[in-house]
Structure 1
Amino acid sequence: MALRNLRYDGDEILRKKSKEISSIDDRILMLLDDMVDTMYENDGVGLAAPQVGILKRAVVIDVEDGNIYKMINPRVLSISDEEQTAQEGCLSVPETKGMVSRPIKVTAEYTDVEGNLVTIEAEGLLARAICHEVDHLNGILFTDKIIKSN
């Protein structure tokens, strides 16, 4: 496993839509492992492939709930009407924090590293992280959604 170079706000790749992953091969598995290492090295709780320069629909998340989520082709299926507003930051926008509203609960679907389709009911920080990382896959940064900067 290796550390990948982060891409920062202003890099055009962060504003592009990522492509679906059609097959899980050694390159995708290595990418996910490298993304986990890169996320930990930079004290993050999530990382999307575009943040390391790869326009593929892959994210990793660790919100300290005992699981490392390696998500291939994640998508949000439904969101709760109730929202949570909290401070967010981003490894690709290191000097900026801001208040962002996100759904309290989400239902998401993704393919795991073994090729299984997984449906997850997430709430709180995990729901926030899933929304934040899926936004990255669609070329959206959290700064686009800031209500109030800090």
Structure 2
Amino acid sequence: MPIRPILSFPDSRLRMAAAVVTRFDAELGVLAADLLETMRAAPGIGITAPHLGVLARVVVLELTPGEVRTYVNPELDWVSPETIRHTEGSVSMPGVTDEVERHARIRVRYQNLGGNEQTEEASGLLAVCHQHEIDQLDGIFWIDRLSRLKRDRLIARFNKLRRG
């Protein structure tokens, strides 16, 4: 379970859609374990395989220490019309955050590491994380949800942080 390198914004691979996982084998389990260790080291509360340059629809979340959730091929099945605003960031763009508007409640359909289909309803932070990570799997980076002005300012702050 090595800690793998995380792609940094603006790497073009962060804008690529991930492929559906069709093989539920030991290799998938290794990827999920590597995602968890890499996310913890970052640190973060959510990560996708594309953050590591692996274009597979795999998400690992750990909103509460020790409560690890792995989602394979997740997709939104239902979203509420109500929205909430929550501060978001990315392991690929450390040091900067901004508020993003998302659906307040959602239902997600996914498979577990064994390939079994599951559904989960979520609200609050968990709903925000699902939407954030599914966007990433679809090649939509979180800052795309900001206005152009906010996005440009955030990128400028990130570039300044990177220059030291």
Structure 2 partner of 1:128: 128
* 1:11-68 CA distance string (max 9 Å, x none): 1110111000011111111000000011111121100110001000101011118631
Residue-pair matches, total: 150
TM-score computed with the length of structure 1 as normaliser:
0.94
- Between 127-136 and 94-103, the greater mean CA deviation after superposition: 94-103
Structure 1 partner of 2:158: none
Structure 2 partner of 1:3: 3
Structure 2 partner of 1:102: 102
Greater fraction helix:
2
Structure 1 partner of 2:85: 85
Distance 2:40 2:66 in 1: 14
Structure 2 partner of 1:119: 119
Distance 2:65 2:78 in 1: 22
Q: CA deviation at 1:114?
A: 2.0
Determine what percentage of the aligned residue pairs are the same residue: 32
Higher-RCO chain (CA-CA 8 Å, sequence separation at least 6): 1
Task: Supply the AA of the counterpart residue of 2:50.
Answer: P
Structure 2 residue 32 is matched with structure 1 residue 19? no
TM-score computed with the length of structure 2 as normaliser:
0.87
Greater fraction strand:
1
Larger Rg: 2
Structure 2 partner of 1:137: 137
Which contiguous aligned blocks of 4+ residues in structure 1 show a shift greater than 6 angstroms? Answer: none
- Between 90-99 and 59-68, the greater mean CA deviation after superposition: 59-68
- RMSD over equivalenced CA pairs, Å: 1.5
Structure 2 partner of 1:39: 39
